[in-house]
Amino acid sequence: MVRTEISLFLQNVPGELGKLAGLLSQEGINIDALTIQDASSYVKELFMARGKSLKRIASSASYNSIRKDSADYALIRILVDQTDKTIDLLSRNEYIFDIMPVIAVELANRPGELAEIAAKFGKEGININYVYGSVAGPDAKCLFVFCPDDIELAAKVFVGE
C-alpha cells in the first residue's frame, strides 16, 4: 500500500525520457507507474497554493520568472520495483530528485472504484494532493497512486481490506 515515489526534473527535450528509461532498464529496474507534467504548471500550482495560504516565499514576479524558466523542464513522478537501487542509480548519474511516500492501490476496473476510494479519504478528512493511474485493458486491474496530505492516516484507511 505505502510506496516510495521518486520525483525528478528532466530537461523538456526529445530523448530525455528515453535516456532515463534506458538507464533503469539496463539495471533491471521496472517502472510500475509514471506521470509527467510540464514543470511550469507545477510552479504555477505552488504559486497558487501559497497564495491561498498567504505563505509565499517569493514575490509574484519571481514566481512568473521561475515559471518561464521551468518550461524547459518536465516533472517526472515514478514508482519502481527497486526503489533503493533506483535512488543509488539516480545519485550516481547526478539526477536531482526527491522521494515521497504515497499510497498505491490496485482497483477493479469498473465504474465507482475511484469514487469509493476518494470518498474513504474524504470521510477521514484526508486531502489528496494529487493522483494518477492507469489500466492496461478492460479485464486488468487499475493501479492508482495517491499523494495524501497525511500518509499515516491514509494508510490506515486500507487496513483489513
* Mean model confidence pLDDT for the chain: 84
Q: Which domain holds residue 27?
A: 2-157
Cα-trace Rg, the chain: 17
- Cα distance between residue 6 and residue 82, in whole Å: 11
Model pLDDT for residues 37-71, shown as the tens digit of each residue: 876 665 556 555 554 444 445 555 554 555 555 56
CATH code for position 146: 3.30.2130.10
Number of structural domains the chain divides into: 1
Host H or E run for residue 31: strand 31-38
Return the pLDDT at 139.
Answer: 86
- Cα distance between residue 87 and residue 75, in whole Å: 16
Distances (CA, A) of 128 to 63, 102, 132, 140, 146: 24, 10, 11, 25, 7
Which has more confidence, 30 or 44? 30
Model pLDDT for residues 74-95, shown as the tens digit of each residue: 889 999 999 999 999 999 998 9
Res 143 pLDDT > 60 = yes
Return the pLDDT at 75.
Answer: 86
CA atoms 60, 66, 68, 71: torsion sign: negative
Model pLDDT for residues 147-157, shown as the tens digit of each residue: 999 999 999 88
* Percent over 90 (pLDDT), the chain: 57
